[in-house]
Amino acid sequence: MGTRPLELLHLFGDLNNISGIGPKTINNLKNISIEKPRDFLFTLPFSVLDRVPVKSVRGIKSSQIVTVEVLVKSHKIGRTRTSAYRINVLDAEVSFQLVFFNA
């Protein structure tokens, strides 16, 4: 058997040689059986988020994640820090309210 080409050596090295990956991340990656950089190539995604924009929120399921362009009509900041921040918006068909807690 011959030796590996130099171009492939980094795929079989240590994860801590990758910039931005520290000991905590290495431990988390080992929990999902990623021990070498080459393991990233063989780890397939198990889910996906569809972020294709829609024109309106009308007709979507309540648990569905969507991206929609809106026009902000008004907003109201709560009186206290713990109260909700409410924003009235309008998409292509419907007006609705966005509510942010602890914002």
7-40 residue pLDDT tens: 888 889 899 888 999 999 999 999 999 999 999 9
The pLDDT, as a whole number, for residue 1 is 61
Token pair recorded at residue 57? 């929120």
In degrees and rounded to multiples of 5, residue 27 shows phi and psi of: -65, -40
Closest C-alpha among 97, 2, 91 to residue 54:
91
57-87 residue pLDDT tens: 998 988 888 999 999 999 998 888 788 999 9
Token pair recorded at residue 38? 């080459």
Contact 99, 76 (CB under 8 A): no
**pLDDT(45) > 90:** no
